[in-house]
Amino acid sequence: MTTVRINASDAVSVETAALIIGVHTTPEGPRPAPGGEGLDQALDGRLAAILTTMGFAGKPEEVAKIPTFGALPAPVAVVVGLGDAPEGDYDPETLRRAAGAAVRSLAGTASAALALPARTAAEAEAVALGGLLGAYGFTRYRTTGDRKEPVGELAVLSGAAGAEEAVARAATLADAVTLVRDLVNTPPSDLWPARFAEIVQETGGGTGLSVEVLDEVALKEDGYGGIVGVGQGSVNPPRLVRVAYSHPEATKKVAFVGKGITFDSGGLSLKPAASMDWMKSDMGGAGAVFGALVAIARLGLPVNAVGYLCLAENMPSGSAQRPSDVLRTYSGKTVEVLDTDAEGRLVLVDGIARAIQDEPDVIIDVATLTGAQIVALGWRTAGVMSNDDALREEVVRIAGEQGEGAWGMPLPAELRKGLDSAVADIANLQPERWGSMLAAGIFLREFVPEGVRWAHIDMAGPAFNKGEPHGYTPKGGTGAITRTLVAVAEHYAGNGASTRTV
């Protein structure tokens, strides 16, 4: 596990295995950003000439390594591009991505010092968080080959007031995201619903969270027909996990509901093989909810928060639910199952119905719900839908402030008719492909009573990076939306005051 600390030393004197500085693009060539001037001085003002010779321009996240030839205690300097210099404060996401890209390039290195702009506590937090997230590596199952461990220790060079507390906060957030990434990356042979529930009990209990687990018997007895129906085809039975945090000074309550399909084969409506290998990530919503609750508790936010992890394994077998089955959900509404691969919404509506009983000020569900989200918005931007326009825009804004891409999407009234069923209250799928991300949101909205503020985040793409690493985002599980949920809780902890950027 990578650790981080504040160091008031400057770039010229800090003892470390690698020094990281930022560089801006200018018409005259690359120029060091605040914090990196010492390297240029140590190299007798030749940094720009060296970088220009190397073809380094300082574009965002561009990385180069240069030897210091004994001019500094650090034998290697890592230069990372920051693009054009800002007129005022640095954008936190620019610093996070730069720190992440630089630290990623140092896997296998014992230590690194980040001499990126950290003139304020907010800048120091952004640098620390980006560095910690960039240091992530999932090597649990590697026994041979490239098994480079992440950087062991990071030092953020800053003398800003409040920097110590800001960096400690960044470490808490990074720990939460790391927890989620590890869960998403764990193969389904080692993460089935009951095991996921055990991990929540083991981890949550040590952070002051209360944890309640409903097994398959309790789920059936209590009428959670959606979760039971999805999970009945697997030898690994489903679970519903309730995780709760309370604070004596809280005046608001938030509820988060996460889709937790530990593996999604599609059920009897079997997925193509090419679409199945990364379906271990289909529990990313539940992971994000759990990670957020852990961070909320460790930060001691003055808000009450409850999370529901709707856990099931969607498998084909002689006991699996069939297309044309009718499920009676926890809300009492009945659903005709037209496609067993539209299973995420079935478990979510049970979790949403249960969360309503907690009488929260807001309910947000998070799910890797539809391939249509990727078609519409790509791999890095989540879709946000809501029964309340102001809440939708609030969530989009908060996500953007955390550097987690999100875009507000409508719930067109005309799509509701496509969910009509001849035998039940509603069908789980519309017959046409068009607008299917929106239709899934409309399906969920049907289970939210009038007057309950609810938002839905479809993060099918952002939860799992199938491409190359970028910024502080690794290949595989990303931990997406975890920080957004923490920031939502922080927003309500301030009774609706504007959220802090993390």
**What is the spatial distance between Cα 390 and Cα 383, in angstroms, rounded to a whole number?**
15
Q: Kindly report the number of other CB atoms within 10 A of residue 185's CB atom.
A: 20
Among the listed residues 96, 104, 298, 345, the single catalytic one is 345
Q: In what order do the strands lie in the sheet with 304-314?
A: 210-214, 239-245, 304-314, 253-264, 362-367, 454-458, 382-386, 406-408
Concatenated DSSP letters of 245-256: E--TT---EEEE
Concerning whether 271 is annotated as a catalytic residue, the answer is yes
**What is the spatial distance between Cα 64 and Cα 116, in angstroms, rounded to a whole number?**
15
CB 340 within 8 A of CB 269: yes
| Nearest residue to 367 via CA among 312, 435, 448, 301 | 312
Q: Give how far Cα 396 sits from Cα of 97, 203, 399, 408, Å.
A: 20, 29, 5, 6
User: Which amino acid, one-letter code, is at 495?
Assistant: N
Q: Kindly report the number of other CB atoms within 10 A of residue 132's CB atom.
A: 29
Q: Kindly report the number of other CB atoms within 10 A of residue 195's CB atom.
A: 17
Among the listed residues 59, 195, 220, 271, the single catalytic one is 271
Concerning whether 345 is annotated as a catalytic residue, the answer is yes
Q: According to the 3-state scheme, what is the secondary structure of 116-182? A: CCCCCHHHHHHHHHHHHHHCCCCCCCCCCCCCCCCCCEEEEECCCCCHHHHHHHHHHHHHHHHHHHH
* CA Rg value for the chain: 24
- Residues belonging to the active site: 271, 345
